[in-house]
Amino acid sequence: MYLSKDNVIFNFNKDHTPVLRVTTPATLDVETFDCFSNQLRDPSDRMDQLDWERINPATGPIFVEGAEPGDTLKVSINRINLNEKGTICCMENEGTLGHMIKGTHIRIAPIENGIVKYLNFEIPVKKMIGVIGVAPMEGAINTGTPGHHGGNMDTLMITEGATIYFHVAVPGALFALGDCHAVMGDGEIGVSALECPATINLTLDIIKGKGPEYPVLENKDEFAIIVSKPTVDEAIFRATELMCEFLEQRLTTYSRPEIIMLMSLVGNVQISQVVDPEKTVRFVFPKKYAPGAKF
Strands 222-229 and 279-286: antiparallel
Q: How far is the CB of 131 from Zn ion (least distance, A)?
A: 7
Q: Is residue 179 at the binding interface for Ca ion, with CB under 5 A as the rule?
A: yes
Q: How far is the CB of 289 from Ca ion (least distance, A)?
A: 31
Q: Is residue 228 at the binding interface for Ca ion, with CB under 5 A as the rule?
A: no
Residue 60 or residue 211: which is nearer to Ca ion going by CB? Answer: 60
When CB distances are held under 5 to 8 angstroms depending on the partner's kind, the choice from Zn ion, Ca ion, none that residue 34 binds is: none
Residue 155 or residue 240: which is nearer to Ca ion going by CB? Answer: 155
Contact yes or no for 65/21 (Cβ under 8 A): yes
Q: How far is the CB of 35 from Ca ion (least distance, A)?
A: 6
Q: Is residue 152 at the binding interface for Ca ion, with CB under 5 A as the rule?
A: yes
Q: How far is the CB of 127 from Zn ion (least distance, A)?
A: 12
Interface segment toward Ca ion; rule CB under 5 A; list 89-97, 123-131, 222-230, 243-251: 123-131
Residue 71 or residue 195: which is nearer to Zn ion going by CB? Answer: 195
Binding residues for Zn ion (CB under 5 A): 35, 130, 179, 193, 195
Which of 55, 229, 225, 227 is CA-nearest to residue 142?
A: 55
Residue 40 or residue 243: which is nearer to Ca ion going by CB? Answer: 40
In the chain, the amino acid numbered 275 is V
Which of 175, 183, 182 is CA-nearest to residue 75?
A: 175
When CB distances are held under 5 to 8 angstroms depending on the partner's kind, the choice from Zn ion, Ca ion, none that residue 152 binds is: Ca ion
* Dist. CA 245–CA 220, nearest whole Å: 21
Residue 108 or residue 262: which is nearer to Zn ion going by CB? Answer: 108
* Dist. CA 91–CA 100, nearest whole Å: 9
Residue 130 or residue 197: which is nearer to Ca ion going by CB? Answer: 130
Contact yes or no for 243/283 (Cβ under 8 A): yes
Q: How far is the CB of 248 from Ca ion (least distance, A)?
A: 33
Q: Is residue 130 at the binding interface for Ca ion, with CB under 5 A as the rule?
A: yes
Q: How many residues bind Ca ion (CB under 5 A)?
A: 4
| 129 SS3 class | strand
**Pairs from 38-43 (Cβ < 8 Å, separation ≥ 24):** 38/197, 40/87, 40/89, 40/106, 40/108, 41/85, 41/87, 41/108, 42/108, 43/107, 43/108
Q: Which helix (H) or strand (E) holds 205?
A: strand 198-207
Site of interaction with Ca ion (CB under 5 A): 130, 152, 154, 179
